Amino acid sequence: MLIFTITKTMRPILILMLLFTCFFAPAQKIYLRDWSAGYRIGEGEAVGSNPYTLGVYLKKPAAYQAFLNSFEVNSIYGNPGPVTYHRIFLQTELAKKHTAGSFWKKTTIPLGINFAFREKRTGMAIEYNEQYARPITDSFVFNKFTIEQTQKFVGLHTGISRRFRISSRIGLLSGIFLQGEMAIRHRFPQQLSFGLYRIPQTLISEDAPQLSDLKGRNYVQWAILVPFATEINIYKKQWLLKPEVSIGMVGNRYLSKTFYARESINAALWFIYRRK
């Protein structure tokens, strides 16, 4: 089932890679033009903003929901903000010899792998605070459950890039960038806290045992981006620096189908080695 899901989700990228490979035949006209490494940061829409809305991610949502139902609550803390993704790319670019035609003199096909991790989503908790439940004279207790979300992804990417030379040192680049990736680690660190306060807001005692992490589903997501970049020659036309911004759409099983939920804006920096 897992293999079928990955294949179905990443089918457009795999088909495009196959078409590019067939189009580049015969093989003697193909060469690896560039080798590059890049770092990209971008934001995406968050799904679930507090402990009650995270169950869709979990492998065992029923047990988690039963625990929440047993927890007396009079305060909820959420984090509705966007999630921030950090990605590292390793990439090569395929090109045809200049004799293949004028179109391919300025066009290449990027192929590579990417690794993604994102900052922890924190600030999600539920609490029973006695201060909110009854008049306080000298002290009150609280019970608090806190949960975080962490994810890591690995994937493949391809596309088509078109270059426009501005000067001997600077060129502009745009095209279409296709990316598919799968979560290989999806965890929810959780913690219970129990404490006693004395008025005015003086912590007398606190116990915060660390619980084992909850396991999330390892799902697949995709992205279609349009990059806008500048290539800057920094050494002998072989070493280049490429700052880039990109806009586009992302999708996975949890995001809604609205444009607002799927829009993606990213910034990246690439280091390139170009074969002569």
Question: What pLDDT, on a 0 to 100 scale, did the predictor assign at position 257?
Answer: 84
How far CA 94 is from CA of 35, 145, 230, in Å, comes to 10, 52, 19
Q: Taking residues 233-237, report their average pLDDT.
A: 87
pTM here? Answer: 0.78
Q: What is the dihedral sign for C-alpha 211, 217, 218, 222?
A: negative
How far CA 118 is from CA of 71, 107, 168, 266, in Å, comes to 29, 32, 38, 13
Helix (H, G, I), strand (E, B) or coil at 64: helix
Question: What pLDDT, on a 0 to 100 scale, did the predictor assign at position 2?
Answer: 40
| Cis upstream peptide for 26 (omega within 30°) | yes
Please report which confidence band the pLDDT of residue 208 belongs to, taking 50, 70 and 90 as the band edges. low
The C-alpha angle 175, 243, 223, rounded to 5 degrees, equals: 45
Please report which confidence band the pLDDT of residue 233 belongs to, taking 50, 70 and 90 as the band edges. very high
Please report which confidence band the pLDDT of residue 20 belongs to, taking 50, 70 and 90 as the band edges. low
Query: Could you give all domains of the chain from N- to C-terminal order, each with its CATH number?
Result: 2-274 (2.40.160.20)
Q: Each residue of 40-67: pLDDT tens digit? A: 999 888 888 899 999 999 999 999 999 9
Instruction: Note the residue count of the chain.
Output: 276
What is the DSSP code (8-state) at residue 27? G
Question: What pLDDT, on a 0 to 100 scale, did the predictor assign at position 100?
Answer: 56
Average pLDDT over the chain, rounded to an integer:
83
Q: Each residue of 94-132: pLDDT tens digit? A: 888 765 567 778 889 999 999 988 777 888 999 887 665
Asked if residue 157 lies in contact with residue 91, where contact means CB atoms within 8 angstroms, the answer is yes
What is the DSSP code (8-state) at residue 217? P
Question: What pLDDT, on a 0 to 100 scale, did the predictor assign at position 137?
Answer: 61
